[in-house]
Amino acid sequence: MKRTHSATEMNTGLIGQEVVLNGWVNTRRDHGGLIFIDLRDRSGLVQVVFSPEVDTDAFHLAEQVRSEYVVAVCGAVRERPEGTENPNLVTGKVEVYARELLVLNRAKTPPFYIEDGIEVDEVLRLKYRYLDLRRPEMKHNIMMRHRVVQKMRSYLDERGFLEIETPILTNSTPEGARDYLVPSRIHPGQFYALPQSPQTFKQILMVAGMEKYFQIARCFRDEDLRADRQPEFTQLDMEMSFVDEEDIFTLVEQMIAEIFQAAGQQEMALPFPRLTYEEAMAKYGSDKPDLRFDLPIVDLTEVLRDVEFKVFASAIAAGGVVRAINAKGCASFTRREIDDLGRMAVDNGAKGMAWIIVGDDELRSPITKFLTQEQIDGLLASLDAKPGDLLLFGADSAPVVARVLGFLRLELARRLDLVKPGQLKFCWVLDFPLLEYDEEEKRYVAVHHMFTAPRQEDIPLLDENPGLVKARAYDMVLNGTEIGGGSIRIYQREVQEKMFSTIGMSSEESQERFGYMLEAFDYGTPPHGGIAFGIDRLIMIMAERQSIRDVIAFPKTQSAACPMTGAPSDVKAKQLRELSIKIREK
């Protein structure tokens, strides 16, 4: 009873033909004298009919069959009788009249329904992930993921990229996320680290003359989990020699377009719009702006330069900014709703939130009495305020205002339901600062990473004012999620050493950690750069899911555990001894 077809191959073209199907019993409908079984395989469903008029043995066996039994069915494909077609099934015009039934395996009743849209405790789904993955929507996600990865491989292969694997057992890196460590048995007391990314290896591959590299790379970061963060995740990692930013943008925009097309989405307009980091922060309050809706943040610092209102005046005097969002048509918000937004603003670091309701012929606001008519006219004009609008203000340092208004912008979009399903809004964010000052560590730290090249003209600034140096880094943002990021790299030893020292790394330490890399740079290193895409996040958006767990076959819970295997778990004392590891009492 080897299968001859998959379920969804059943169509009117096969009418009259004998077929053998293998699969699972999705549902059984027993009418006493006639039994219907929806047979499911990876492709989908087809209805199988058991009638005593066709075969009594098969019919009686079908009475015994239950959900999720694995069966083989042999029978003829027939057109369904007039009026019994099912338009909800691709195979709804036909059915298979079973002549023979073989139960390949029985099955216990599953703990949840094998169907879409179930609302079950996710732990249960993860514990029985093999059942969860039988559900069409999960199967769809996994299959889409496969198609996307295959497309990435073929696209890059066609353009001369080499797929090269890099070590999983490697060195711990300073900076960045917490490492997952692996104890060395052979070197007691020493540890490997799992890679947070293949960064240094891919650069070394450029020194090695590979010119174009990619890898579907697993990355590991031991940090707290979120809906879009898992301790291990997958990146499409790429690196190229002799390229600049434009080469990379062109290459990956085209790739993204083809990937989305392969997944059945609409064609997209290329090239993607570009924003500088500063623009993104000022206008959208985020370095990963969601461009599916407008709601821009408008700067009013100049309009209100001489304002008397103390809250605004002191913010401006301290070198800060006053900015606002026009919540179009939100004048009808209740006082309670506005206070609610104000509370959220405070939660995000604001000292308060001023507002103006634009009425038909008057303004309602606790602050207008502190403003001159000229200032009011100015801000209304800047915000394009019309009767029915609600204006929300932030006044503080630029970063605080960006954070607060950026949050309010997203919250307003949620409340106003501005995001329509299926929209895809890409953009590049460019000109990130290379370094930022870390108050805790009392030193500069790399915004991207320490191998990112500064803009050539900014190199002198590394000494004078490191905070002003711009990086040759870029992020690709889709619908408010960072899906990829990369940079042109440092490829000269002196610049790299300068970078190390600027972030406070002693030459001893940089020699110890990255001596091999500095040495490699001495042996003819081409200029190079690259980018990496978060495949899980990308697929999550493509599949319109709220969590990357839904596009990973075997994800972890928020406490980084696997309910199916029970990982992580205790190990035998012998294993610990071999590793020279002793578990400390709490």
Partner RNA sequence: GGAGCCGUGGUGUAGCGGUUAACAUGCCGGCCUGUCACGCCGGAGAUCGAGGGUUCAAAUCCCUUCGGCUUCGCCA
Distance (Å, whole) CA 520 – CA 522: 5
Identify which range of 161-169, 225-233, 251-259, 520-528 contacts RNA by CB under 7 A: 225-233
Q: Is 567 in the site for RNA (CB under 7 A)?
A: no
Distance (Å, whole) CA 312 – CA 210: 56
Contact pick of 13, 81, 422, 524 for RNA (by CB under 7 A) = 81
**C-alpha of 168 from chain center:** 22
- Tell me how many residues contact RNA (CB under 7 A): 65
Q: Is 479 in the site for RNA (CB under 7 A)?
A: no
Identify which range of 227-235, 244-252, 379-387, 462-470 contacts RNA by CB under 7 A: 227-235
Closest distance to RNA from the beta carbon of 163 (Å): 19
Strand partners, 473: 487
Structure tokens at 366: 């606790």
Task: Identify which of 47, 52, 22 has the alpha carbon closest to the alpha carbon of residue 37.
Answer: 47
Closest distance to RNA from the beta carbon of 43 (Å): 16
Q: Is 258 in the site for RNA (CB under 7 A)?
A: no
Q: DSSP for 86-125?
A: -TTSTTTTEEEEEEEEEEEE--PPPSS-SSTT----HHHH
Contact pick of 12, 18, 30, 566 for RNA (by CB under 7 A) = 30
Structure tokens at 500: 């190390």
Closest distance to RNA from the beta carbon of 21 (Å): 15
Q: Based on CB atoms, which residue is closest to RNA, 112 or 191?
A: 112
198, burial (CB in 10 Å: exposed 0-12, middle 13-18, buried 19+): buried
Contact pick of 29, 140, 305, 386 for RNA (by CB under 7 A) = 29
Q: Which residues of 506-517 are buried (b: 16+ CB within 10 A; e: fewer)?
A: eeeebeebbeeb
Contact criterion met (CB below 8 Å) for 539 and 145: yes
Identify which range of 239-247, 261-269, 273-281, 445-453 contacts RNA by CB under 7 A: 445-453
Measured from the Cβ of residue 311, the count of other Cβ atoms closer than 10 Å reads 17
Contact pick of 13, 53, 264, 422 for RNA (by CB under 7 A) = 53
Of all helices (H) and strands (E), which one includes residue 239?
strand 232-241
Q: Based on CB atoms, which residue is closest to RNA, 36 or 370?
A: 36
Which residue stretches of 135-269 are H helix? 136-158, 199-207, 245-262
Identify which range of 76-84, 156-164, 298-306, 576-584 contacts RNA by CB under 7 A: 76-84
Site string for RNA, 122-161 (x = CB under 7 A): xxx-------------------------------------
Distance (Å, whole) CA 76 – CA 143: 30
Q: Based on CB atoms, which residue is closest to RNA, 259 or 532?
A: 532
C-alpha separations of 109 from 25, 115, 343, 486 in Å:
11, 14, 49, 48
Identify which range of 98-106, 133-141, 220-228, 374-382 contacts RNA by CB under 7 A: 220-228
Q: Is 265 in the site for RNA (CB under 7 A)?
A: no
Distance (Å, whole) CA 44 – CA 6: 8
Q: Is 487 in the site for RNA (CB under 7 A)?
A: no
Longest Cα–Cα distance of the chain, Å, equals 93
Q: Based on CB atoms, which residue is closest to RNA, 231 or 296?
A: 231
What are the residues whose beta carbons fall under 8 Å from the beta carbon of 122, sequence distance 6 or more?
549, 557
Identify which range of 114-122, 307-315, 456-464, 514-522 contacts RNA by CB under 7 A: 114-122
Q: Based on CB atoms, which residue is closest to RNA, 199 or 234?
A: 199
Contact pick of 129, 134, 288, 449 for RNA (by CB under 7 A) = 449
Q: DSSP for 10-76?
A: --GGGTT-EEEEEEEEEEEEE-SS-EEEEEEETTEEEEEEE-TTT-HHHHHHHHH--TT-EEEEEEE
Q: Is 310 in the site for RNA (CB under 7 A)?
A: no
Identify which range of 78-86, 185-193, 299-307, 517-525 contacts RNA by CB under 7 A: 78-86
Q: Based on CB atoms, which residue is closest to RNA, 192 or 309?
A: 192
Site for RNA in 528-547 (CB under 7 A): 547
Q: Is 443 in the site for RNA (CB under 7 A)?
A: no
In the complex, the residues that contact RNA under the rule CB under 7 A are 27, 29-34, 36, 38, 47, 49, 51-53, 66-67, 80-81, 83-86, 88-89, 92, 95, 109, 111-113, 118-124, 173, 175-178, 196-197, 199, 221, 223-229, 445-450, 547, 549, 557-559, 561
